[in-house]
Every structure is written in structure tokens, then in C-alpha cells.
């Protein structure tokens, strides 16, 4: 049975109050999550390809659990729609309840996809009722957080599905449309970043920002340059041809250990002959002009060293993006494949193609304050051993990215849509 067949009829869904922006935003984001499952079958949504990835069915339920737990249960009269499911669909909020083992999410044939989609609809009805009744500022902020959280899961669903499909010898395609043309990459140019004291972090007037983007604060930058575009597949192939994966002098010690242990010889989804890559459009010819994608921090760092450069610090990246965001004509609409940097003037690919690894460890900003209550576990507790990525990717929902956005992954992670923007000391 396909996912679209399980969608409740339109007249079963409460219509959002026209005047309520929050209700409209809520309905739009929730519908977009289900739309990500268009064309998939129930079997596609139940399997887990690795402990880091989750079944799509789990994402559909977990994002609903988030609203039940952090918004609906604020009213003591509310009764959870599916008693017992909170154990299954809590992700990592230890302060809420005990939770199911992450690596075993793919063992849950029950609840079925149909059960989960029905649960979503019931949570939606309760949420839209709550919004229509009027919510206080705190509940409004939690609903906004829940919507941003859900958009993060929309991107995770595309990452996890691509990884799952990539392990299937039949090489299923998620998107059956013609592959969008890559375009021709503009020559690499270096632009001076600003040096001296700059400010980074979410401004007080930002409509929404996660706690990890605050507070805005001062940073001292030394003279440096940053590349106008991302590293291309063609450039990365030259790194491989030059023995990039066989020269320990190019690698961080942990990175070289990962190369040895994992047998890395190319980015995650490239074929062994370096001629094709597996994408959400299925297997496609490797286009030398598209940006290289699905590389670890270790690979990005090794490439930069080979190229006589380095990765930008996150403050360098953010200040550079603030200076040049107007030149990046990207519409940031999810297109499932990164495009070549065609702009001949200015800066390209800040947003909407590949997240960009930085040299910065994911740490709290000075005077960081996590959110109050159980949602304080959202970001802060992950500030150990991970690196910051900036920008956004071709699977990031439109409107979700910001200059101050801090994404973060472990340096060995490769299944996220991560690429490389180079920097240099000046």
C-alpha cells in the first residue's frame, strides 16, 4: 500500500483558522512531511539501514510525539492518543521518559504505517484545536520549535532514505523525473574575508533561531580568504587520482584511522570506478561540475590540505555569508541534487546545495543558555566531539536556513549532504 493512499480524506482534517499564521504554518509543515513520502511504499518506510538512520515511519511518528509531549501534554486534561508509543518515538529526551534503543527502530513492524499516519492526523486535529483556542507565548514558542524540528526531520528523511536505497542492489529511485542539469562551474576565485572584530550569532530580531545560535557575540578574525564556490566533483577526483586516500601526510590521525578501518577510497555514494554516483534520482553519471557531496569532515580536511588551503572557521563562514548572501541567487528550494556554481560574479552555493564543513568544533557560544525544561536537551548536550557545518543543502526545506544556523555532525559522518568550501590565511 502506498503512503498517499493512507492520507486521510481532506474533509477529515480540521481547516486552519484563516487569520492564524501559526495554524497555517503548522498545516503547511505537517503536510510537507507526508509529501516527502509520496511514491514510497510501506516497506520503504519501515527499514533502518544503520543505527544513525531511522525508518521514515519512525520520523513520521516521532515528529508527532514531539508535539504531543511538548505542547499537548501541557494541558493536564490531555490524554495521549496512543498510550505506550512515547517509549517508541521519544528520540533522545532522557528527561521525559525511558526510550527505545535507537539501533532497533527498524525492528518495529508495528505500529503499521497506516497506524502512524492515523496518529499524525489525530495529533494534527488536537494541535489545530489548541491553536484555535489560543496559545500563550511559551506554547507558541514550543510550536514554532516543533515546526523547525519537523523540518529538520524532513531533511533527515531524505538522508536516511538515500542511505537505505543505496544498499539495495536494485538501486531504487526516489525521484523519477529527469535529472536536473548540473550547469557549468564558474572558476574558483578567492575573496577576502573581513578581519578584526566581527559579530556572529542570531540577532535579537531573528524570527526564530535555535538556542545554539545565541547569544550573538564578538569574534576576532585574522586576515583570510574564502572560495567563491564549493569544491567540485572534478576537483575532488583529481585529489583521488593524486593518491589522496593513500597519503597519510594529508590526513588528521583520526581521519587516517577511519580511511584504514572503513576502506574509504571515494565519497560515500560514488562508484568504485569514480564514474557515477548514487542519488535520490538513482544512479547518475558523475558530473565534474557539481559540488562534491557526502564527504566526512576528515575527507574535507584532507582535500583542503592537498589543495594548499584549509576549512573556514564557522565565524569566518558566517561573516563571509553575511557580506555575500545577496549575491547568492539560490532560491534554496529543495531540489534533491546540488547544482554547479554558475554565477560568474560574487559568491555561489552558500545555501541550497551542500552543507559546508567548518574547522570549528561544535561548542557553546559564550554565555550560551539552553532552552528551559526538557527541550533543553535539544542541542546543548550534543556539544562534544562534533564539528559545525554551515549553509544548507539541496534537501533542506525552503525557508529553514539562516546565516546563523549551526548544523553539526561527527567528523566521520558522511550520509548528510556535506561538501567543501575552502579558506586560506591571507
Beta strands in 142-232 (DSSP E): 190-192, 196-200, 217-221, 224-227
By CB under 5 A, residue 296 contacts Fe ion:
no
Nearest approach in angstroms of CB 62 to Fe ion is 6
Nearer of residues 91 and 392 to Fe ion, judged by Cβ: 91
Instruction: Count Cβ atoms below 10 Å from residue 18 Cβ, excluding itself.
Output: 8
By CB under 5 A, residue 54 contacts Fe ion:
no
Nearest approach in angstroms of CB 59 to Fe ion is 8
* Core vs surface per residue 413-423: b (16+ CB within 10 A) or e: bbbbbbbbbbb
246-285: which residues touch Fe ion (CB under 5 A)? none
By CB under 5 A, residue 154 contacts Fe ion:
no
Nearer of residues 149 and 229 to Fe ion, judged by Cβ: 149
Nearest approach in angstroms of CB 107 to Fe ion is 19
Q: Quick one: DSSP state of residue 340?
A: P
By CB under 5 A, residue 379 contacts Fe ion:
no
| Dihedral Cα 116, 117, 123, 128, nearest 10 deg | 170
The 3-state DSSP composition of the chain as helix, strand, coil percent (nearest 5) reads 40, 10, 50
For residue 8, give Cα distances in angstroms to 5, 34, 118, 145, 230: 8, 11, 7, 25, 42
Using CB under 5 A as the binding criterion, the count of chain residues that bind Fe ion stands at 1
Nearer of residues 186 and 379 to Fe ion, judged by Cβ: 379
Instruction: Count Cβ atoms below 10 Å from residue 7 Cβ, excluding itself.
Output: 18
Nearer of residues 153 and 414 to Fe ion, judged by Cβ: 153
By CB under 5 A, residue 49 contacts Fe ion:
no
Binding mask 90-109 toward Fe ion (x if CB under 5 A, else -) reads -x------------------
Nearest approach in angstroms of CB 371 to Fe ion is 14
Nearer of residues 91 and 151 to Fe ion, judged by Cβ: 91
- H or E, element range at 153: helix 137-166
Nearest approach in angstroms of CB 91 to Fe ion is 4
State how far the Cα of 182 lies from the Cα of 340, in Å rounded to an integer.
5
Nearer of residues 122 and 377 to Fe ion, judged by Cβ: 377
| Dihedral Cα 361, 362, 366, 372, nearest 10 deg | -170
Binding mask 64-93 toward Fe ion (x if CB under 5 A, else -) reads ---------------------------x--
Give the residues lining the site for Fe ion (CB under 5 A). Answer: 91
Amino acid at each position: 500500500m502506498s503512503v498517499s493512499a493512507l492520507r486521510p480524506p481532506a474533509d477529515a482534517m480540521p481547516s486552519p483558522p484563516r487569520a492564524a499564521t501559526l495554524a497555517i504554518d503548522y498545516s503547511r509543515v505537517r503536510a510537507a512531511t507526508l509529501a516527502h513520502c509520496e511514491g514510497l511504499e510501506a516497506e520503504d518506510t519501515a527499514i533502518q539501514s544503520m543505527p544513525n538512520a531511522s525508518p521514515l515511519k519512525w520520523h513520521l511518528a516521532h515528529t508527532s510525539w514531539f508535539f504531543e509531549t511538548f505542547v499537548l501534554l501541557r494541558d493536564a486534561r490531555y490524554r495521549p492518543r496512543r498510550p505506550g508509543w512515547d517509549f517508541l518515538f521519544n528520540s533522545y529526551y532522557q528527561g521525559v521518559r525511558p526510550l527505545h534503543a535507537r539501533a532497533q527502530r527498524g525492528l518495529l513492524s508495528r505500529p503499521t504505517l497506516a497506524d502512524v499516519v492515523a496518529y499524525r492526523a489525530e495529533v494534527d486535529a488536537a494541535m489545530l484545536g489548541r491553536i484555535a483556542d489560543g496559545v500563550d507565548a511559551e506554547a507558541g514558542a514550543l510550536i514554532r520549535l516543533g515546526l523547525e524540528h519537523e523540518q529538520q526531520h524532513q531533511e533527515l528523511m531524505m538522508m536516511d532514505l538515500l542511505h537505505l536505497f543505496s544498499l539495495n542492489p536494485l538501486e531504487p529511485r526516489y525521484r523519477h523525473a529527469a535529472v536536473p542539469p548540473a550547469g557549468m562551474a564558474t572558476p574558483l576565485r578567492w575573496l577576502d574575508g573581513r578581519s578584526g572584530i566581527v559579530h556572529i550569532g542570531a540577532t535579537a530580531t531573528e524570527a526564530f533561531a535555535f538556542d545554539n545560535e545565541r547569544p550573538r557575540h564578538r569574534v576576532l578574525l585574522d586576515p583570510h580568504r574564502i572560495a567563491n564556490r564549493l569544491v567540485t566533483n572534478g576537483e575532488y577526483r583529481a585529489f583521488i587520482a593524486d593518491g589522496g586516500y593513500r597519503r597519510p601526510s594529508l590526513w588528521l590521525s583520526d581521519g587516517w584511522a577511519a580511511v584504514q578501518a572503513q576502506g574509504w577510497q571515494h565519497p560515500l555514494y560514488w562508484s568504485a570506478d569514480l564514474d557515477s554516483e548514487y542519488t535520490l534520482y538513482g544512479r547518475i553519471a558523475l558530473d565534474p561540475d557539481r559540488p562534491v557531496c557526502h564527504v566526512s569532515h576528515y575527507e574535507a580536511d584532507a582535500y583542503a590540505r592537498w589543495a594548499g588551503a584549509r576549512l573556514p572557521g564557522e565565524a569566518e563562514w558566517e561573516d563571509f555569508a553575511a557580506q555575500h548572501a545577496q549575491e547568492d541567487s539560490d532560491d534554496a528550494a529543495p531540489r534533491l541534487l546540488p547544482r554547479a556554481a554558475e554565477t560568474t560574479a560574487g559568491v555561489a552555493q552558500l545555501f541550497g546545495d551542500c552543507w559546508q564543513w567548518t574547522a570549528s568544533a561544535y561548542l557553546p557560544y559564550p554565555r550560551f543558555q539552553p532552552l528551559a525544561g526538557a527541550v533543553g536537551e535539544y542541542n546543548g548536550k550534543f556539544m562534544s566531539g562534533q564539528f559545525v557545518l554551515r549553509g544548507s543543502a539541496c534537501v533542506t526545506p525552503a525557508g529553514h536556513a539562516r546565516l546563523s544556523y549551526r548544523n553539526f555532525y561527527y567528523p566521520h559522518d558522511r550520509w548528510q549532504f556535506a561538501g567543501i568550501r575552502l579558506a586560506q590565511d591571507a
